Amino acid sequence: MSAFLEVKNLSVVFPTDDGRVQAVDSLSFSVEKGKTLGIVGESGSGKSVTSLAILGLQKGTRAEVTGEIWVDGKEIVSATESEVRKLRGKAMSMIFQDALAALHPYYTVGHQIAEAYLVHNNVSKKQAFARAIEMLDRVGIPEPQKRVNDYPHQFSGGMRQRAMIAMALSCNPSLLIADEPTTALDVTVQAQILELLRDLQKEFGTAIILITHDLGVVAETADDILLMYAGKQIEYGTVRDVLQVPQHPYAWGLLTSIPRLTGDPNLPLTAIQGAPPSMISVPSGCAFHPRCNYVEKADVCATRVPELVAIESGKSHSVRCHMDSELRQRIFSTQVKPQL
């Protein structure tokens, strides 16, 4: 069965005054309907650039996008702007981190939802407005008939994100890209929004790409995880694979460094040394090698980019690391696992 979204060898390069910045480097993944892929990475890892590429939003800019993105049987990279425009908001849509900035301050929430519905459906303004009320109701906004006439700044943070979701889902898209949808929200509201996304996914069978830096959020929401570092996917697999038997030293570092609600809080956290590289000066070879505690063959790690290799043949779980698998298993079970 072919997946609803299939990305093959996606690369995005920005020509800048400081040289060519490879924001995304040969990414391949797929998402099926009703499933959620979590794309996880720190700032500058290329996760947001990836999402914009899927929506074809870099068309008309200086960005050079190569590879293939298949959405519902249509290829995005080679398509024209007007072809992609017909898919945006209808076949695929997106919600953003900062809903206050992502909504137009001068139009009512209802107007903005109706507008999204109106572009892709041959309906009257009145019908589109009715749809806006229906969607607001569906995402749990109380008194939708009244609130539909409010402006974004009159909504609370959680309600604004609900309104964004209502807008994104108004045309029943098969793919929803959520870029850090809960990062700006309080935990109790974050929990509400994640639950809403899960419910809506169950109801409409939407494929979701969840972009986040928060491993807790992916653990709760995603089926698969794509871990990105400096524009490359360095580990890919199911949530259980990546969070419970992680294979890449970066994944180990992330998982042992995050403070948790369980375990001994008196032990120091195992921090990853250094800082994520800037896009302009990505280290040679394996981009993670300057921060890696397990560099075994220093010359290889520093010069050669490791291939993405499946952990077990036939399984999706794959990793981009020079370490040989036996050593990796040994380090994982003796040093990493006890800390998880």
100-129 residues near other proteins, rule: CB under 8 A: 101-107, 115-116, 119-120
DSSP string, 16-27: ETTEEEEEEEEE
Phi, psi dihedrals of residue 18, rounded to the nearest 5°: -90, 10
Which CB, 73 or 259, lies closer to other proteins?
259
338 contributes a contact to other proteins by CB under 8 A? no
Q: Tell me which long-range contacts 196-205 makes (C-beta under 8 A, separation of at least 24).
A: 196/139, 196/140, 196/162, 196/165, 197/165, 197/221, 200/138, 200/139, 200/165, 200/169, 201/34, 201/36, 202/34, 204/169, 204/172, 205/33, 205/34, 205/174
Which CB, 202 or 297, lies closer to other proteins?
202
- Any bridge partners for residue 37, and if so which? 209, 224
Stretch that binds other proteins, among 8-16, 128-136, 247-255, 313-321 (CB under 8 A): 247-255
Q: How far is the CB of 240 from other proteins (least distance, A)?
A: 5
Residues in contact with other proteins, counted by CB under 8 A, come to a total of 77
Q: Which 163-222 positions form the footprint of other proteins (CB under 8 A)?
A: 164, 167-168, 186-192, 194-195, 213-220
Which CB, 28 or 335, lies closer to other proteins?
335
What string marks each residue from 64 to 83 as x (binds other proteins by CB under 8 A) or -? Answer: -----------------x--
Q: How far is the CB of 310 from other proteins (least distance, A)?
A: 21
Other C-beta atoms within 10 Å of 268: how many? 5
The residue within the footprint of other proteins, chosen from 37, 87, 109, 139 (CB under 8 A), is 87
Q: How far is the CB of 285 from other proteins (least distance, A)?
A: 19
Closest CA to 217 of 336, 53, 97: 97
The residue within the footprint of other proteins, chosen from 5, 27, 53, 55 (CB under 8 A), is 55
Burial of residue 245 (CB within 10 Å: 0-12, 13-18, 19+) is: middle
Which CB, 70 or 151, lies closer to other proteins?
151
Q: Quote the tokens at residue 5.
A: 């979204």
Q: How far is the CB of 326 from other proteins (least distance, A)?
A: 26
Lookup result for tokens 């609803």? 4
Rounded to the nearest 10 degrees, the angle between the axes of helix 187-204 and helix 157-169 is 20
Yes or no: say if 227 and 235 are a contact pair by the CB < 8 Å rule: yes
The residue within the footprint of other proteins, chosen from 73, 265, 314, 338 (CB under 8 A), is 265
What string marks each residue from 134 to 173 as x (binds other proteins by CB under 8 A) or -? Answer: -----------------x-xx-xxxx----x--xx-----
Stretch that binds other proteins, among 7-15, 125-133, 235-243, 313-321 (CB under 8 A): 235-243
Q: Give the list of residues 6+ apart from residue 49 with CB closer than 8 angstroms, or none.
A: 12, 23, 24, 58
